[in-house]
Amino acid sequence: MCPPTYFTVSYEINPWMDPSVPVDAARATAQWEHLRDTLRDLGHHVEEIEPEPGLPDMVYAANGATVIDGVAYEAWFRFPERAAEGPAYLRWFSDHGYVTAKARHVNEGEGDLLTCGSRVLAGHGPRTDVAAHREAARLLGREVVSLELVDPRFYHLDTALTVLRGNDGGTPDADCDVAYLPAAFSPESREVLEDLFPDALIATDEDAEVLGLNAVSDGRHVVLNPAATRYAAALRERGYEPVGVDTSELLRGGGGAKCCTLEVRGEPRLPVASRDTPGAAVRSA
Ligand code: ARG
């Protein structure tokens, strides 16, 4: 996670952002700390990356990379305002001994590349390029399922779909579970989702329009916007434990709990001292 030290809404790259309304920085920080502490209280280990001045969206750590089996696949942002975040996150991973894989195609990390069992569910359209899906498959060694996003409000896959079970990357595919908003996907992608997840929790516009689907699930607890009451009830009925955490100030930038959280799967593989060794990183040659 990345503290919202420099968080503000100074540009507009999604329909949720309005630079004319000032951000309450103290409130954003208190909400972010509450989210971090909630994840820790649920038993998760949370690392913090140093925020960088001039990168107000760096708080949305989910976009920083995609990490599976100890390999961190670099994010490459669609908009220049966020371009420096990709290298900043990748540096954190190489500094901590992870194998890093350079990107050559636009992809916004775990915002669009959601691990689900043996696969990666991958959004494209508003942000991530479909070419990055092939790159991710090659560098992460996972099957990538391409899904087209069609509603500008749900511009990253993690705003339209929650991986409820299987997010760890080690869960058998048959045990995976997702929730999604069908209307956020093209008809073809809806068919793909129906085939893969015939028993999925079908979300409603009411759930999605408060970014309720932008939730962090560990397979049991689902941390989400408390305003998504219908979604929380549906989750409870399905055996999950919804945990409401108000991140309304961070919603002003177009992100919720999931956007603020990058999941790290797998252990570092390289001794930390080798991080400057040429060739230590996987290159997308
Ligand atoms: N303002 C950021 C952007 O538009 C919000 C990113 C939200 N992150 C996410 N994983 N959905 O890029």
Give me 68's structure tokens: 């599976």
Distance CA 42, CA 208 (A): 24
For the chain (285 residues), the mean pLDDT of every run of 10, in chain order, is: 98 97 97 98 98 98 98 98 98 97 98 98 98 98 98 98 97 97 98 98 97 98 98 98 98 98 94 55 44
CA of 16 to the centre of ligand 1 (A): 10
Phi/psi at 217 (nearest 5 deg)? -115, 135
CA dist 190 and 186 (Å) reads: 6
What CATH number belongs to 25-268? Answer: 3.75.10.10
Which residue in the list 124, 133, 156, 221 is annotated as catalytic?
Answer: 156
Look at residue 241 in the predicted model and tell me its pLDDT.
98
Sorted by where each begins, the domain ranges of the chain are: 25-268
The encoded tokens of residue 25 equal 């920085």
- Ligand 1 atom with the smallest distance to the CA of 127 is 12
| Residue 9 Cα: closest atom of ligand 1 | 1
Position 279 scores a pLDDT of 44
Q: Determine which residue's CA is closest to atom 9 belonging to ligand 1.
A: 259
Using CB distances shorter than 6 Å, the residues near ligand 1 are: 13-14, 17, 57, 60, 62-63, 82, 111, 156, 158-159, 253-255, 259
The yes-or-no answer on residue 259 being catalytic is yes
Quote the ligand 1 centre to 278 CA distance (angstroms).
32
